[in-house]
Amino acid sequence: MPSVTVKQYKAPVTVGKIVCIGRNFAAHAKELGNAVPDSPILFMKPASCIVPDGGTVIIPDYARECHHEVELAVLIGTPGQKIPAEQALNHVAGYAVAIDLTLRDVQSTLKEKGHPWEMAKAFATSCPLSDFVAVDTVADTSNLQLKLSVNGELRQNGTSADMMRSVAEVIAVMSDYFPLEAGDILLTGTPAGVGPVTSGDRMDAAISGIGTLSVQVQ
């Protein structure tokens, strides 16, 4: 089973599922011509998607366009269902930097047909992920800087202050639909500036106070 490292822990943590929220930043929804949703858009990636820091991304041969989405990742430590937002942060074990890689052309076709998104979101290597830092080292997640560069050129530069649902609210709404277990990872949405990467590109992502993540596209 895939596992992740929490810097302050002695043993790795086995990962369960990865639950993601779409369009949690209004500016990103608008850049793709999407409506800002009033009901949550939730989807999952399997743990087998994870690529560690320094790893290699392989774009599947059925896709023409693979987009980067830098996101704050939340590691669940205490399980729960229908978690109230006021208690949600008590369920967190740690935070990390993630990239929700998305096959945009495949996703557009799936959206047109009304089909599920997994073929665009859940391919092998679709979730580069840094090591986690323990929750008690992060004072506040409401004003974190999220950045992503491709080959040294800054593409995404946003703040978690612009999230439509806060980290606590994301945990709460995901737990309304799915039981959250220890080892589950939640991706909390991407700021504006998403765009394509191709073979040979290097992605460098960073979140202030959380960490950095670099991967290469094969």
- List beta partners, residue 42: 21
Give the gyration radius of the chain's Cα atoms.
16
> Applying CB under 5 A, which part among 26-34, 132-140, 185-193, 196-204 lies near Zn ion?
185-193
Number of residues that bind Zn ion (CB under 5 A): 3
User: Residue 64: what residue type?
Assistant: R
CA distance to 88, 126, 169, 205, per residue, from 47 (Å): 22, 10, 23, 20
Looking at residues 56 to 95 of the shown chain, list those that interact with Zn ion (rule: CB under 5 A): 69
* Closest distance of CB 72 from Zn ion, Å: 11
Among 51, 99, 100, 166, binds Zn ion (CB under 5 A): 100
Site string for Zn ion, 139-178 (x = CB under 5 A): ----------------------------------------
Minimal CB distance to Zn ion: which residue? 100
* Closest distance of CB 194 from Zn ion, Å: 8
* Closest distance of CB 22 from Zn ion, Å: 6
* CA–CA separation, 194 and 192 (whole Å): 6
- Residue 159 in contact with residue 24, Cβ under 8 Å? no
CA dihedral 126, 17, 52, 59 (to 10 degrees): -10
123 binds Zn ion (CB under 5 A): no
Among 25, 72, 190, 194, binds Zn ion (CB under 5 A): 190
* Closest distance of CB 190 from Zn ion, Å: 5
SS3 51: strand
The angle formed by the CA atoms of residues 199, 124 and 19, to the nearest 5 degrees, is 120
* Closest distance of CB 71 from Zn ion, Å: 6
Closer CB to Zn ion, residue 81 or residue 108? Answer: 108
* Closest distance of CB 49 from Zn ion, Å: 12
- Per-residue DSSP letters for 115-146? --SHHHH-STT-EEEPPBEEGGG-S-STT-EE
> Applying CB under 5 A, which part among 29-37, 126-134, 155-163, 188-196 lies near Zn ion?
188-196
Nearest to 51 by CA among 83, 73, 81, 84: 73
Positions that interact with Zn ion (CB under 5 A): 69, 100, 190
